[in-house]
Amino acid sequence: SQTIHQWPATLVQPVGSPLSLECTVEGTSNPNLYWYRQAAGRGLQLLFYSVGIGQISSEVPQNLSASRPQDRQFILSSKKLLLSDSGFYLCAWRGLAGGMETQYFGPGTRLLVL
């Protein structure tokens, strides 16, 4: 079965520091991968998605970037964090189950920028 991992689970970083969040998927090959952000008390906003190694699409202009160095690895980065980068970051992969494309989410990373 497929599993998705994210780390770290929680991160507290000062403004201006760099960021690297990692997401890995097991049990599938060449998955579509996604990074979402959830601000407090709100729904999810798609940040980036990737359909293959080195292929990144950005949904919103921002202080963040994404990379996919390996088939099942997706990384979210920043060179200098802003206070507004605080939030809950979720990684997801898309699978085909019962003939229907469905996104499945990882456990998430809580980021607090101080």
Partners of residue 97 on adjacent β-strands: 100
Choose between 75 and 108: whose C-beta lies nearer to other proteins: 108
Q: How far is CA 56 from the centre of its chain?
A: 12
Among 19, 21, 31, 34, binds other proteins (CB under 8 A): 34
Single residue of 1, 29, 43, 69 touching other proteins by CB under 8 A: 43
Tokens standing for 76? 């979210």
Closer Cβ to other proteins, 17 or 30, answer by number: 30
Q: Per rule CB under 8 A, is residue 42 in the interface with other proteins?
A: yes
Cβ–Cβ under 8 Å, residues 113 and 14 = yes
Nearest to 44 by CA among 105, 3, 114, 113: 105
111 CB burial (10 A radius; 0-12, 13-18, 19+): buried
Q: Which is nearer to other proteins, 32 or 73 (by Cβ)?
A: 32
Q: Which residues bind other proteins (CB under 8 A)?
A: 32, 34, 38, 41-46, 49, 51, 57, 59, 88, 90, 92, 94, 100-108, 110
